[in-house]
Each structure stands twice: as C-alpha cells, then as structure tokens.
Amino acid sequence: MRKNIPEPELDAVDLALLQLVQQDGSLSNTELADRLNLSVTPCWRRRKRLEEAGYITGYQAQLSRRRLGYQVLAYVQIRFGGHADEAPDRFEALIRALPEVQACHKITGEYDYLLQVLAQDLDAYADFLERTLRRQPGITAIHSALALREVKAGTQVPVGPSGQGPSASPPGRRDR
C-alpha cells in the first residue's frame, strides 16, 4: 500500500536507476551508485524514494521455465455468460491462488479474461483445463492457444521519454 507521498519528478538519474535495477535487481547500492556516478547515500535515497512512490514494486530473479520442467506455455481466453452474479469474482480469487497461472487480465472483446498458463506437458495442461477451469460456474467458453516458440519474452518496462529508455549519455555526478 502506497503512503501519501508526492509523486517524484523523474530526472535522467532516476530513469537510469530504474533501468539498471530492472536489468539486474541484485545490484548492491554501492554498485548502483558507481554506475550512476553518485555517492552511496544519495543513491540509496533515490532508490528508497522510487520504491515508496511505487515505481519499484519488487525484486525477483527471472527463472527458466523450461529448465524447471514447464514445457507448455498456453494463452487461455475465458468467456462468462453474465457478469451480474458473483462467478467472475470467485473466478478471479481462484486464479490469484493458482501458481501455474502466470498472468490474468480482464480484457475487452469477445472474451472476458486472458490467462497465461504454464504446464509441464500437454497431459498436465489438459488436467488443468478439466479439473480447474471447466469446473468454474459461469464460464461459457474456453479457448486455448499453445505457444510453439518464444520469439520474445520479457518483463521489462520501457523507461524514459517515449519508451526509448534513458538517455545514452551517463548522468553527471550529482547529489554528492
């Protein structure tokens, strides 16, 4: 939950900091300060301010799904018959608790939800469909698309003006 703090104006150093921690969340504050040409304390203050303002929401390692045995990546579209009852709310609560569902979005168009689901193999995916999704009240259609090959997969958000990332020139020595 965000505290009531004013939105910081992001300068070139903030944008560079966001890009660096997004690329490598394991950077120590000392390493980050060196890369930004800052001293350690001002770098820590900036990072803390960006965390408190909600620009940085967490740190995690990116794992290889294939090395961990998840060979199937499916995109699943879900349609509900109606939205007046509590079925969609119960569905959303269930989906939040399922670790094999990597992402769930309420969407516009012909379907109501788009899920990204991992499974070890096709049998495990079929089991997920039969034992989990098809048993949910209110669902009138399920459409699956299996990924054949990942062309691009990432979680990084474009940082900087017009999504071009931070300026190519390194930030000056500020906040000393």
Model confidence over 7-58: pLDDT tens digits?
668 999 999 999 999 999 999 999 999 999 999 999 999 999 999 999 999 9
Q: Which two tokens stand for residue 39?
A: 């001293």
46 and 98 assigned to the same domain: no
Expressed as residue numbers, the domain containing 113 is 72-146
33 and 76 assigned to the same domain: no
The tens digit of pLDDT for each residue in 90-136 reads 999 999 999 999 999 999 999 999 999 999 999 999 999 999 999 99
Asked which of 10-14, 76-80, 171-175 is least confident by mean pLDDT, the reply is 171-175
Contacts 24+ apart (CB under 8 A), 18-23: 18/50, 18/55, 18/56, 18/159, 18/166, 19/159, 19/160, 19/165, 19/166, 21/47, 21/56, 21/59, 22/156, 22/157, 22/159, 23/156
Mean pLDDT of 155-160: 85
29 and 54 assigned to the same domain: yes
pTM of the model: 0.78
CATH of the domain at 35: 1.10.10.10
The number of folded domains in the chain is: 2
Proportion of the chain in helix, strand, coil states, percent, rounded to 5: 35, 15, 50
41 and 94 assigned to the same domain: no
d(CA 173, CA 19): 18
Asked which of 56-60, 67-71, 73-77 is least confident by mean pLDDT, the reply is 56-60
Q: Which of these, 122, 79, 124, lies nearest to 99 by C-alpha position?
A: 124
The answer to whether residue 30 is domain-embedded is yes
The answer to whether residue 100 is domain-embedded is yes
Write down the pLDDT at residue 85.
83
